[in-house]
Amino acid sequence: MRIVIKLGTSTLTNSTPYLAPPLLVELARQASQLQADGHQVMLVSSGAIAIGRERLGFPQLPKDIPAKQMLAAVGQPRLMALYEQIFGLYGVTVAQILLTRMDLASRRRYLNARNTLIALIEHKVIPIVNENDTVGTEEIRVGDNDNLSALVANLVDANWLILLTDQPGLYTADPRTNPDAQLVAEVSTREISPEIWQAAGGSETGLGTGGMITKLQAADLARRSGAGCIIASGKESNILLRIIEGEKPGTYFSPIATSLESRKRYILSARKAPGLLSVDDGAVQALKRGGSLLPIGMTSVEGTFERGDTVRIANPNGSEIARGIVNYGSRDLARIVRCPSEEIESILGYHFGDEVIHRNDLVLL
């Protein structure tokens, strides 16, 4: 399974102003175990700002973005050094991935980020994702790592998004002030009910940015992209292992679509598909059998488009038979029309894979 685990600042600091490595060691042990069991694991970790702040001796700073960016710039390398050390105990290599909303909004950058993440997990490296705070101005920030983790889960078609926090899950009211507050065990309705949105409103905020509301937004997004999501406490023993074994300690949100369905919906929703690829009969048959589109099956390329754009595919009679997301832009495709995939690299000088359109990025009409 492909698992995205989000660790918040409260987990990294054990809800103190200081970094608290013991809990991290424990979570890294479990994450490494999951990886050894054959799962693909990714972390989304906050903490750069908190660590930067600690490192600089807790300066009084304005709440503006440059101050936070400065703290993140100091803290991020320390955060990574810590992960490198802790995962090293278990013989696991980690990698740093810093993203902004822009990297996820543009299809081309989206594909690049996706391919890098997938290359890492396929090589058994655990990517540790954070927002690229130092360059992230208001317009291009995701703003909180809960939503960022859901975007990452969507990006890589994760099966699980695990949001670890210092609370056992989502409550019907604030448990610190309301003795009747109850843990919500499961959300399985297609829409998250207004009562639950209400319950999540205005929850704690410490050094991290999120609260329960951003966790709920993240859960909502993740389940629409085909992942199961759970909000649970990072402090509970063996929390990650138990979740993957099938326990639901915390608030569980069942997926409401498969990731393939959600991707296909995205492809069909493309506002405009200016590009047109004509293909031969062999390719039509291959596509109908569920195959990918290879350059050898293309007969012509029309329109101007970029890698990551949605294009139309037409059969030899000129009828549109499918739509899909291209791995190559129109200029490159014009150079590899009718070529065997093995020649892509020598013709273009690089390659983004054998397929013009991978079957998972393709919808037959």
Please pick, from the candidates 5, 28, 98, 131, the single residue that binds ligand GLU as defined by CB under 6 A.
131
Radius of gyration, CA atoms only, the chain: 22
**Backbone dihedral angles phi then psi of residue 180, each to the nearest 5 degrees:** -85, 0
Q: Report phi then psi at 29, rounded to 5.
A: -60, -45
Of 204-212, 243-251, 266-274, 315-323, the window that binds ligand GLU (rule: CB under 6 A) is 204-212
Q: Is 208 in the site for ligand GLU (CB under 6 A)?
A: yes
Nearer to ligand GLU, 49 or 162 (CB): 49
Shortest approach of ligand GLU to residue 287 CB, angstroms? Answer: 42
Question: What CA–CA distance (Å, rounded) separates 312 from 319?
Answer: 10
Nearest to 144 by CA among 4, 5, 9: 9
In the complex with ligand GLU, which residue's Cβ is closer, 54 or 361?
54
Q: Which residues are CB-neighbours of 169 under 8 A, at least 6 positions away? A: 183, 184, 185, 230, 231, 232, 233, 249, 250, 251
What whole-number distance in Å separates Cα of residue 359 and Cα of residue 21?
A: 43
Quick one: 40 or 209, whose CB is closer to ligand GLU? 209
Q: Is 144 in the site for ligand GLU (CB under 6 A)?
A: yes
Nearer Cβ to ligand GLU (71/287): 71
Footprint on residues 40-79 left by ligand GLU (CB under 6 A): 46-50, 72
Q: Which of 75/297 has CB closer to ligand GLU?
A: 75
In what order do the strands lie in the sheet containing 160-165? 93-99, 125-131, 40-45, 2-7, 160-165, 228-233, 251-253, 186-187
70-88 burial, b for 16+ CB within 10 Å, e for fewer? bbbebbbebbbebbeebbe
Q: Is 133 in the site for ligand GLU (CB under 6 A)?
A: yes
Residue 209 C-beta: closest distance to ligand GLU, Å: 4
> Using CB under 6 A, which of the segments 170-178, 206-214, 313-321, 349-357 binds ligand GLU?
206-214
Q: Phi first, then psi: what are they for 2, rounded to 5°?
A: -100, 120
Segment (H or E) for 3: strand 2-7
Closer of 48 and 273 to ligand GLU (Cβ):
48
Nearest approach in angstroms of CB 105 to ligand GLU is 18
209: contact with ligand GLU by CB under 6 A: yes
Considering only 29-37, 205-213, 228-236, 256-264, which stretch makes contact with ligand GLU by CB under 6 A? Answer: 205-213
What distance in Å separates the CA atoms of residue 291 and residue 359, rounded to the nearest whole number?
Answer: 6
What is the footprint of ligand GLU within residues 92-121 (CB under 6 A)?
Answer: none
Among the candidate windows 58-66, 91-99, 127-135, 278-286, which touches ligand GLU by CB under 6 A? 127-135
CB of 147 to ligand GLU, least distance (A): 8
Any contact of residue 145 with ligand GLU (CB under 6 A)?
yes
Q: Which is nearer to ligand GLU, 133 or 166 (CB)?
A: 133
Spatial separation of the C-alpha atoms in residues 218 and 234, rounded to whole Å? 17
| Binding to ligand GLU, residues 245-284 (CB under 6 A) | none
Q: How far is the CB of 146 from ligand GLU (least distance, A)?
A: 6
- Residue 42 CB, nearest distance to ligand GLU (Å)? 16
Give the per-residue SS3 of 142-165.
CCCHHHHHHHHHHHCCCCEEEEEE
CA gap 132, 140 in Å, rounded: 10
Question: What single-letter amino acid sits at 126?
Answer: I
Q: Is the separation of the CB atoms in 321 and 287 below 8 Å?
A: yes
Q: Which of 169, 210, 234, 249 binds ligand GLU (CB under 6 A)?
A: 210
The DSSP element (H or E) to which 229 belongs, if any, is strand 228-233
Nearest distance, CB of residue 45 and ligand GLU, angstroms:
7
Contact residues toward ligand GLU (CB under 6 A) are 8-9, 46-50, 72, 130-131, 133, 144-145, 208-210
